[in-house]
Amino acid sequence: MSALITREEAKTRLSRIGKTAADVARELGVSGAIVRGVLDGTLKGAAGDAHKVAVALGMKDGVIVDDRMSISDAMKAAAA
């Protein structure tokens, strides 16, 4: 596992690569409000789309699984 980054570091890195919350939302297929919530700290990334965003940005250790994947298969992927 690589080192996790803070919200501020995630914002800084997005700025350095010229990407916005809307760009992240588009790429991950989630709402821009979810991305902004994770970056602002109002959403902790505990579950669902917020989890997906936090993991993708490197703010949380976790596994992103396809929404159509069964819980059993997702648990196996998380164990790997």
Residue 75 is part of a domain; what is its CATH number?
A: 1.10.260
Q: What's the domain range around 63? A: 7-79
**Residue 11: helix, strand or coil by DSSP?**
helix
Residue with tokens 């996790």: 4
For the whole model, what pTM was predicted?
0.89
The total number of residues shown for the chain amounts to 80
37 found inside a domain = yes
Does 1 reside within a domain?
no
Count of C-beta atoms within a 10 Å radius of residue 53 = 27
Q: Is residue 2 part of a domain?
A: no
Q: How far is it, in rounded angstroms, from Cα 18 to Cα 68?
A: 31
Q: What's the total number of domains in the chain?
A: 1
Chain centroid to Cα 72, Å, comes to 22
pLDDT digits (tens, 9 = 90+) for 48-66: 999 999 999 999 999 999 8
- The tokens for 43 are 């959403």
pLDDT in tens, 9-37: 999 999 999 999 999 999 999 999 999 99
Q: Is residue 27 part of a domain?
A: yes
**Residue type present at position 75:** M
Higher-confidence position of 78 and 23:
23
